[in-house]
Structure 1
Amino acid sequence: MKFKSLLAKPFASIIANKVKKEMQRAVEDQESIWQELIKTGRKTEFGRDHKFDQITSYENYKQAVPIRDYEQFRPYIDRIKEGKHNILWKGQPIYFAKTSGTTSGVKYIPISKDSIDHHFNTSRNAVFCNVVEIGDSTAFDGKLIFLSGSPELERVGGIPTGRLSGIANHQIPRYLRTNQLPTYETNCIEDWETKLGKIVEETLRQDMRLISGIPPWMQMYFDQLIEKGGKPVGELFPNFNLLVHGGVNFEPYRAKLMDSIGRKVHTIETYPASEGFFAFQDSQETEGLLLNTNAGIFYEFIPAAEIFDENPTRISLKDVQVGVNYALIVSTNAGLWAYNIGDTVKFLSTSPYRIVVTGRTKHFISAFGEHVIGEEVEHSLMSVAADSGVRITEFTVAPRIQVSGELPYHEWFVEFEQVPENMAAFAGEVDRQLRNKNIYYDDLLTGNILQTLKIRPVRKGGFIDYMKSIGKLGGQNKVPRLSNDRRIADEMEKYLDGR
């Protein structure tokens, strides 16, 4: 055991114990955070506009501050970009995290001096909690990599601006800098394929021990490592033992990633976003992600079915129930107020508060009132794939509404490692699983409003080529699993398996 792992071991124990204590006082911490947010918010333009000086309770807050998405926040963001101070939070943001929205175009999410440390510290907490449980801190003796966007930042209204992953690169503490790969120059390469080739060159003969990123782009990295090195990743990196992932549901990628590694490694799931670091896996033994309740974020929850209602039900953490699908609403110490981030979550437990991410509020299919969500399609496809010994590379689903001479249906574009021998039987079982998960979908089939789903096999590499064609290859970009329109589906027609 080397010096860094010796130092990391007691520090990790301190952090893990702190996290355990915070589990027990989550509701109290949320109340304290809310009080602090309101206190600071009173001195801002947003606070004056919404009469924060008259807010004395959460009920007041709900009446004064409606749920907003980015478009409704944009006028305040624009004033920050003009150089104005004390608009959403005290002073100015120290960064803008630049993201692309489905309807808002480019979004600029503020990150403040008060919020920035939580982005890195929560990631650290996730790793340290698992390191303590595993009983092995030697990951810090070798090299680590986070497959991220470019750390080069532009300035928007004088504020450094870039992808969250690029911003995070600037926050890595000095004691980890010597462990970090790739080099800064390589990380700044914008073209993903060129960048990935350089990353493989720089890491192939290194002592890689921790690898982090979004699963589909980790898989591309692994594929090239195997092609260049001629061995499974686990043999190329014999000390590699921690795989940290986030951004999308891991299960559709797990089997192929583990096969590429060639042996078991520990995995750690995280739930970061530009708006805040919301949850993380704190244990290898327990399902779900621990909600990050003491990190400058106040959470609200709306039953997902009500998210587009004029006056939806809004509750705080103390009133959530296990098993209900909620839209996640946040107010933060970066100046977001009752902000709808667009994700849906479900609680697996309330002691402590553990969640799973179930999908996106805008990523669903309800062309006929079925309201099928991401969790349902992922479960249906992956459970059948596991039972059939079939591996899935990527998929997306959309409705096919206008069909000549037959009933409409859900169209599934699926890239397989190997196409099932009996596609009709495979699709039929996926359909049966989906009917079991969603009674509205089942009713539509029973009532002859829809016909059973159809699977369209996508050629190998088809989804990568699609992402390349729209300029979203690599980094933090991901393919939406569900769409209520044909925008993605019509493009995927170009990448079908011609066999």
Structure 2
Amino acid sequence: MKIKSLLAKPFASIVSKNIKKGMLTAVEDQDALLKELIKTARITQFGKAHKFTEINDYKSFTQSVPIRDYEKLKPYIEEIKAGKHNVLWKGQPVYFAKTSGTVSGTKYIPITKESISNHINGARNALLCYMAETGNTAFADGKLIFLSGSPVLERVGGIPTGRLSGIVNHHVPRYLRRNQLPDYETNCIEDWETKLNKIVDETINQRMTLISGIPPWMQMYFDELIKRSGKPVGELFPDFSVMVYGGVNFEPYKPKLFESIGRKVDGIETFPASEGFFAFQDTQTEPGLLLNTNSGIFYEFIPSEEIGKENPRRLSLGEVEAGVNYALIINSNAGLWGYDIGDMVRFVSVDPYRLVVTGRTKHFISAFGEHVIGEEVEYSLLRAAKEGNVHITEFTVAPYISKDKGKSYHEWFIEFENEPRNMQQFAEKIDTYLREKNAYYNDLITGNILQKLTITPVKKNGFIDYMRSIGKLGGQNKVPRLSNDRTIADALSQWAKN
């Protein structure tokens, strides 16, 4: 056993024990954290405008601080960019995490001196919990790859600014630097395809033990490795034992990824975003991701049926129930207040608080009143695919609103690894399972308001070509599973098979 894996064992044990202790005090920790956040931010422009000195408890907090999305928070961000201090949080942010938004264009999410540890320690804790539970520490001595954005930072209002993954890259501990691939020069390449080829050049002959990234971009990496070597990834890298992923639901990508590897490796799922590191898989034996309850973020939850209302019902952690879909709202030491991050979650356990991400609040189809969400379409497709031994590369769904006498329907754009023998039967299976999951959709079908869904097969690499065409190939970018309009669908049509 080498020195890094040897030292990792006691450290992993200590951190894991502390996390387990925190499971028992999650609600109390959240209550204490809210008080601390309010106390610290009283001096800020936001705190003064929202009378933080008069807030005594969670109820008075909700009466003082409304729910906001980025557009409503943007005026405060602009003041920070103009050089002002003490706007949302004390002082100024140490970074802006730059991310794309559908309405706002580029979004600049503040990261403060107090909040940076949330981003760094979240991923670290996920790995340490895995080590403590499985005893597998050997991967720490091999080569580790994190498929991420460029670490090159620009200055916006004097504040270093870049993609979150690039920012975090600057904080990789020294003891891991020697193990980390690709090298800095390769990581700085902006063009994804050029970067991918260089990454393969650097790693194909190395002893890779851990691979981390967003599933669709890991798959591109695996495809290129197989193309170059003629071997499954698991054979090319015999010591590869841990795969860390997040950013999208893993299940649609799982069959093809493991087929590319050719054998079992352990997986660790995470729930990171530019706004914070919210949850991580703390065990290999229980479903769901453990909510990060003592890391500078106070969480609120809005029941799915309340989303979009002027004054939605807001719940603190102690009020949530298992099995209910909630919009996730955060208040943090990065200066985000009542901030709607756009994700929906469902708790699979409240002792401890473990959740799954069920979709995006703005990624849904309700063109006809059905309000179909990401979890429902993923479940329906994966169930049909499993039964038919069909592998899916990528997909997205959009409404088709008929302008003539024909009925409207949902159009599914699917890129298949192997197509079903009977496409019509496959579509009918998906439709059946979706009707089981969503009563509103079922009513529209049985009432002859909608016709059953249709499938439009997409050419091989069609989704990659689409992402390239809009300048979003690689990095943290991904195709939305659902759209309530035809913007993506109409653009994808040029890569349809027929």
In structure 1, stretches of 5+ residues that fail to align are none
Kindly report the root-mean-square deviation, in angstroms, between the aligned alpha carbons of the 2 structures. Answer: 0.6
Do residues 14 (structure 1) and 14 (structure 2) align? yes
Matches of 2:143 and 2:18 in 1, distance apart? 27
Partner of 1:56: 56
Matches of 1:347 and 1:378 in 2, distance apart? 18
**Percent identity at matched positions?**
68
Do residues 331 (structure 1) and 331 (structure 2) align? yes
How far apart are residue 405 of structure 1 and its match?
A: 3.0
Matches of 2:379 and 2:132 in 1, distance apart? 31
Partner of 2:408: 408
Matches of 1:391 and 1:362 in 2, distance apart? 27
Deviations 1:349-396 (A, max 9, x none): 100001000000100000111000000000000111011100000000
Deviations 1:265-302 (A, max 9, x none): 00000000011100000111111100100100000000
Partner of 1:458: 458
Matches of 2:119 and 2:37 in 1, distance apart? 18
Matches of 1:35 and 1:210 in 2, distance apart? 39
Partner of 2:111: 111
Matches of 2:387 and 2:162 in 1, distance apart? 42
How far apart are residue 497 of structure 1 and its match?
A: 1.4
Do residues 307 (structure 1) and 336 (structure 2) align? no
3-state SS, counterpart of residue 417 of structure 1: strand
Matches of 1:195 and 1:479 in 2, distance apart? 20
Aligned pairs for 1:374-389 (under 5 A) are 374-389=374-389
Matches of 1:311 and 1:48 in 2, distance apart? 22
Partner of 2:289: 289
Output the amino acid matched with 1:81: K
Partner of 2:432: 432
Partner of 2:485: 485
How far apart are residue 418 of structure 1 and its match?
A: 1.1
Do residues 143 (structure 1) and 143 (structure 2) align? yes
Partner of 1:98: 98
Aligned pairs for 1:221-240 (under 5 A) are 221-240=221-240
How far apart are residue 199 of structure 1 and its match?
A: 0.2
How far apart are residue 403 of structure 1 and its match?
A: 4.5
| Shift in CA distance, 403/419, structure 1 to aligned 2, threshold 3 Å | farther
Matches of 2:51 and 2:34 in 1, distance apart? 16
Deviations 1:132-164 (A, max 9, x none): 211110010001011000000000000000000
Aligned pairs for 1:255-294 (under 5 A) are 255-294=255-294
Matches of 2:62 and 2:456 in 1, distance apart? 46
Deviations 1:20-47 (A, max 9, x none): 1111110011011101100011010000
Do residues 70 (structure 1) and 70 (structure 2) align? yes
Matches of 2:209 and 2:341 in 1, distance apart? 33
Do residues 215 (structure 1) and 215 (structure 2) align? yes
Aligned pairs for 1:110-129 (under 5 A) are 110-129=110-129
Matches of 1:412 and 1:306 in 2, distance apart? 28
How far apart are residue 404 of structure 1 and its match?
A: 3.0
Matches of 2:428 and 2:244 in 1, distance apart? 34
Do residues 195 (structure 1) and 195 (structure 2) align? yes
Deviations 1:247-280 (A, max 9, x none): 0000000010001001000000000001110000
Matches of 1:258 and 1:103 in 2, distance apart? 36
Deviations 1:406-434 (A, max 9, x none): 11000000000011110000000000000
Aligned pairs for 1:143-162 (under 5 A) are 143-162=143-162
3-state SS, counterpart of residue 395 of structure 2: strand
How far apart are residue 117 of structure 1 and its match?
A: 1.0
Output the amino acid matched with 2:163: R
Output the amino acid matched with 2:87: I
3-state SS, counterpart of residue 269 of structure 1: strand
Deviations 1:284-339 (A, max 9, x none): 11111001001000000001221110110001000001111100000000000010
3-state SS, counterpart of residue 224 of structure 1: helix
Total equivalences in the alignment = 498
Matches of 1:440 and 1:150 in 2, distance apart? 44
3-state SS, counterpart of residue 426 of structure 1: helix
Matches of 1:239 and 1:223 in 2, distance apart? 19
Taking structure 2 as the reference length, the TM-score comes to 0.99
Output the amino acid matched with 1:439: A
Partner of 1:418: 418
Matches of 1:210 and 1:261 in 2, distance apart? 13
Matches of 1:256 and 1:15 in 2, distance apart? 34
Output the amino acid matched with 1:323: G
Partner of 1:181: 181
Matches of 2:349 and 2:287 in 1, distance apart? 10
Output the amino acid matched with 2:178: T
In structure 2, stretches of 5+ residues that fail to align are none
3-state SS, counterpart of residue 42 of structure 1: helix
Output the amino acid matched with 1:448: N
Partner of 1:442: 442
3-state SS, counterpart of residue 226 of structure 1: helix
Matches of 2:380 and 2:118 in 1, distance apart? 35
Output the amino acid matched with 2:36: E
Partner of 1:79: 79
Matches of 2:277 and 2:229 in 1, distance apart? 35
Partner of 1:362: 362
3-state SS, counterpart of residue 252 of structure 1: coil
Output the amino acid matched with 2:322: V
